[in-house]
Structure 1
Amino acid sequence: MSSKAASWRELIRGRNAAYSLVLFGATILHAVNVYITITILPSVVRDIGGLDYYAWNTTLFVVASILGAALATKLLHWARPQRAYLAAAFVFGLGTLVCAVAPSMMILLTGRFVQGLGGGFLYTLTYALIRIVFAERLWARAIGLEAAMWGIATLAGPAIGGMFAEFDAWRAAFWLLLVVTVVFAVIALVILPTRHESEADNTGIAWLQLILLTAATLVLSWASILEDVGSIAAGIAAALVLTIMLFLVEARARNRLLPSGALSLTTKLGALYAAAALLSIGVQPEIYVPYFIQMLHGQSPFIAGYLAALMSIGWTTGSLISAGWSNPAARRSIVMAPMLMALGLAAAALFMPVHGQGDWSVLAPACLAFGVVGLGIGLGWPHLYTHILEAAPAKEQDLAVGAIVTVQLFAWSLGAAAAGMTANFAGITNPGGIEGASQAARWLFAVFALAPLLGLLAARRGVQA
């Protein structure tokens, strides 16, 4: 790695500024779409129906994003940077168009699946193209800037979606996303390289692993919305069996989703991937934060939504703070990340369940805890990325990049489903109300604090020389 110190200025001037615009624009497009859609869904249901399939808008989008992430590096090898980006933008735009004109929920779900596939392509290509268009010493800062885009989306998405929902113009939100997609595609056509020198990729697509991964995600997501304990247990067992089958097939397959050594916790690479997965799982209680803040602390949906964003804001802040760090500070940040996350989740388990009803002396410590959780993962995430690339075999760099996003999204989906199960078991619906919300908050944050604690063990193993 070059000894010349990297600076933020290098990412926003000259040709790098154009690269930053098209790459991080793709990230913010994918992220803003997530938050806009969540915000406008109630309006969508009022217009075209389909309340029974409400949650599947997110489930199908995430599953398709996982598939897109897993296939993105193949797309990059086949089409090269410029055409790969254009193909990803086309798929995302096509899905957005279907959503914009959907006359029924089934058509909308189809559009959301196609959108998710394109979003997975775009999100993973951002990681892959960072390695191609920027100097190696800029990678950590670029990942920090990529994380900042999620922070911007967290703030802008609900506001934009809320504006369209306020005027019952939810279709216009998708039309706006389509226009922005076209703009970024035109910029990519002009600026991105048409060629990329890399090792030839003669492997095929890991179809069996993708099928098993998708099936495990869908089964666990389905189990998370059930009420019968026996059915939930059966769903968990089935998802566990599918996941074990996935690992067994991946370990013996010629065509793989993960680089060599990624499945073994005894290797540096495997420990780093495990740390990334466990940290990603640890942030999933975030999805219940708006509900807890409204139910237990008497805040409006608008305020609750933005207080819930404190975790994402912390992630962005941590990424920007640590992105310029080099070893040994970078290695320490990877270990520091799960420690801060566990501390924040434990504090949230202590303060969030208290029935404050508008008392900010009670709510403020919980909000601080959310920020600490986000700050923790933000400090470590840019350096997890660079350490994974350093640990991956030289001929499997592109595979390693795609695997980062695949592992992250898979962990998000499993974590979200596990959060739903934990909240349901803890009583969020039975007994429900204040009592149920308080019990669910206490158990949810306490249980999920275990994920970063396990992540700490993996992180320590991963940064060993």
Structure 2
Amino acid sequence: MTSTDDAVEAASWRELLGPRHLGSALVLAGGVLVGAINIYLASSLLPTAVADIGGAGFYAWNMTFYLVAMVIATMLVSRVLARWGNVGAYLMGFGVFVAGSLACAVSPAMPVLLAGRGVQGLGAGLLSGLGFAVIHSALPRRLWTRGNALMSAMYGVGNFAGPALGGLFAQFGSWRLAFVAMAVIGAVCAGIVPRVVPRGERGGGRTPVPVVSLVLVTAATVAVSLAGVLPGTVAMAAGVAVALLLVGGFVAHERRSGRRVFPRTTYTAGSALKWVYLTIGLLTFGVAVETFVPLFAQRLGGLPPVTAGLLGAAVSLGWSLTQLGSASAAGGRAVRRLCVLGPLVLALGFLAQGLLLRDAAPGWLMLVWAPVLVVAGSGIGLAYPHLSVAAMSSTSDPAEGRQAAAAIATVTSLSIAFGTAVAGVLLNAGGASMLTSARYVLFGFALVCAVGAVTARAANRRAGAETR
């Protein structure tokens, strides 16, 4: 057996990005990246698009259509893989994404644009889930942590690049070209798939689709997405409550059903997997703060839109940079500590940011905001890649392993949707005072994300019990 140090040395970034694995790594990361970019890309383009094709009344549905479709697709990844194999599944994902992007690019009216966004979301969700599921066969186990770190970093890069690219194209009035550019990127990635992605094994193509689970999670995603745009705090809170009830119904159904989205291990007594998923969800829940940071920066600090938008991406920047380093952590004790530390750092970062908020904030104080938000985001990066590997390694059964890996994308997408809605509720609860609203959001998120330390400790205890 190799020592821990030898394993770490062998599992280097140089090996992952070397000639043998570079192609696979690029496809895995690229699929996650195009999905992440398009979460916020259209938000920057919509004002220009509305001026061109109308449909201002449908403005708020842009994110809803995309996220709902994305969550649905992530839940079907393991079945698409079983039916079509790695290469076929990836070609399908990129093909659907390209078709949706082109539909958006040629949209003559807002309903067509929204339909295109839905198709885009299906492709993006499939690609995001495939990235985590295909890593089983595309990379050796010693590279799983770094592969997961690279892919999850793409969420952070996408959250940064999406608004920036959208704003750039909108600045020149070329909103349609932004979608064309995304279609070209998707087509290029699809072109290299057959040459670099292992085909994998097919089988289980007749596995029944978990219709009831899909309906419940879709309804929960719709409810929570609508909650984020409903007028009034009471209506928004009611939307979130309905979504939580639907998620509860989903869990109850999955526990007793033979047609599951999550692997059977999730619901086994004493299993660590459910705690791993909860911790991932609580970490990515915090990403939703980024949607509102630009608003706080403009209203409280008087920053111009471009600068405020860049500040809003500080959480994702911290997430992306930190996990590229945290992936090098070796040894069970170090990894367990990072999984608990991550949610605490995220929560403390939001708490500190809330304490730094001021009306008419001076320039020097605004400069402090950026590193504080980067530190907050670093909490996600500390834990996310290790939690992803924990989910992938939760079972020795290959089919369940792919299902467990694909579910990481489902949890991430669903948590971002929930976080956005809850942030909207907290924002409205502050009333006319932007300072109060901003503090409600940041302090509220600090409390929620801190719970992740508790779930991470539970995951560590269960995992320790399983190995004894």
The answer to whether the superposition gives a TM-score over 0.5 is yes
Asked if the contact 1:269–1:392 (Cα under 8 Å) also holds between the matched residues in 2, the reply is no
| Worse-superposed segment, 247-256 or 387-396 | 387-396
1:262 matches 2:266: yes
Asked if the contact 1:283–1:373 (Cα under 8 Å) also holds between the matched residues in 2, the reply is no
Per-residue CA deviations over 1:338-376 (Å, capped at 9, x if unaligned) read 110111011011112x1244x233223332221121100
Structural mapping, 1:213-232, within 5 Å: 213-228=217-232, 230-232=234-236
TM superposition shift of 1:200: 4.8
The match for 1:210 among 198, 201, 214 is 214
Distance 1:305 1:24 in 2: 24
The match for 1:333 among 338, 363, 368 is 338
Letter of the structure 1 residue corresponding to residue 448 of structure 2: A
Asked if the contact 2:265–2:273 (Cα under 8 Å) also holds between the matched residues in 1, the reply is yes
Per-residue CA deviations over 1:311-331 (Å, capped at 9, x if unaligned) read 001001111111111222112
TM superposition shift of 1:407: 1.3
* RMSD, matched Cα: 1.9
Q: Which runs of 5+ in 2 are unaligned?
A: none
1:389 matches 2:386: no
> Compared with structure 1, are the counterparts of its residues 226 and 22 closer, same or farther at alpha carbon in structure 2 (3 Å cutoff)?
closer
Letter of the structure 1 residue corresponding to residue 459 of structure 2: G
Secondary structure in 1 aligned to 2:330? Answer: coil
Match of 2:131 in 1: 126
1:417 matches 2:421: yes
TM-score when scaled to structure 1? Answer: 0.93
The match for 1:244 among 213, 236, 248 is 248
Asked if the contact 1:347–1:366 (Cα under 8 Å) also holds between the matched residues in 2, the reply is no
Secondary structure in 2 aligned to 1:463? Answer: helix
Per-residue CA deviations over 1:299-319 (Å, capped at 9, x if unaligned) read 111111111111001001111
The match for 1:378 among 378, 381, 385 is 381
Asked if the contact 1:265–1:274 (Cα under 8 Å) also holds between the matched residues in 2, the reply is no
> Compared with structure 1, are the counterparts of its residues 368 and 73 closer, same or farther at alpha carbon in structure 2 (3 Å cutoff)?
same
| Worse-superposed segment, 278-287 or 132-141 | 278-287
> Compared with structure 1, are the counterparts of its residues 368 and 265 closer, same or farther at alpha carbon in structure 2 (3 Å cutoff)?
farther
Match of 2:81 in 1: 76
Structural mapping, 1:80-229, within 5 Å: 80-196=85-201, 200=204, 203-228=207-232
> Compared with structure 1, are the counterparts of its residues 100 and 53 closer, same or farther at alpha carbon in structure 2 (3 Å cutoff)?
same
Distance 1:406 1:339 in 2: 23
TM superposition shift of 1:463: 1.4
TM superposition shift of 1:266: 4.9
Distance 2:27 2:237 in 1: 45
Distance 2:157 2:223 in 1: 32
The match for 1:280 among 284, 305, 308 is 284
The match for 1:313 among 308, 317, 321 is 317
Per-residue CA deviations over 1:413-453 (Å, capped at 9, x if unaligned) read 111111111111112xxx2xxxx210111111111111222
1:406 matches 2:403: no
1:445 matches 2:450: no
TM-score when scaled to structure 2? Answer: 0.92
| Worse-superposed segment, 36-45 or 108-117 | 36-45
Secondary structure in 1 aligned to 2:266? Answer: coil
The match for 1:253 among 241, 252, 257 is 257
| Worse-superposed segment, 165-174 or 2-11 | 2-11
Match of 1:360 in 2: 363
TM superposition shift of 1:56: 1.0
Asked if the contact 2:31–2:128 (Cα under 8 Å) also holds between the matched residues in 1, the reply is yes
Letter of the structure 2 residue corresponding to residue 461 of structure 1: A
Distance 1:147 1:235 in 2: 29
Distance 2:234 2:25 in 1: 50
TM superposition shift of 1:264: 6.8
TM superposition shift of 1:161: 2.1
Match of 2:453 in 1: 456
Q: Which runs of 5+ in 1 are unaligned?
A: none
Distance 1:48 1:136 in 2: 49
Distance 1:363 1:13 in 2: 41
Asked if the contact 1:275–1:459 (Cα under 8 Å) also holds between the matched residues in 2, the reply is yes
Distance 2:415 2:161 in 1: 25
| Worse-superposed segment, 219-228 or 36-45 | 219-228
TM superposition shift of 1:201: 6.8
TM superposition shift of 1:193: 2.1
Asked if the contact 1:94–1:115 (Cα under 8 Å) also holds between the matched residues in 2, the reply is yes
| Worse-superposed segment, 170-179 or 158-167 | 158-167
TM superposition shift of 1:155: 4.1
Asked if the contact 1:314–1:371 (Cα under 8 Å) also holds between the matched residues in 2, the reply is yes
| Worse-superposed segment, 25-34 or 405-414 | 25-34
Match of 1:17 in 2: 22
Distance 1:350 1:229 in 2: 24
Q: Percent identity?
A: 37
Distance 1:450 1:152 in 2: 26
Distance 1:233 1:33 in 2: 27
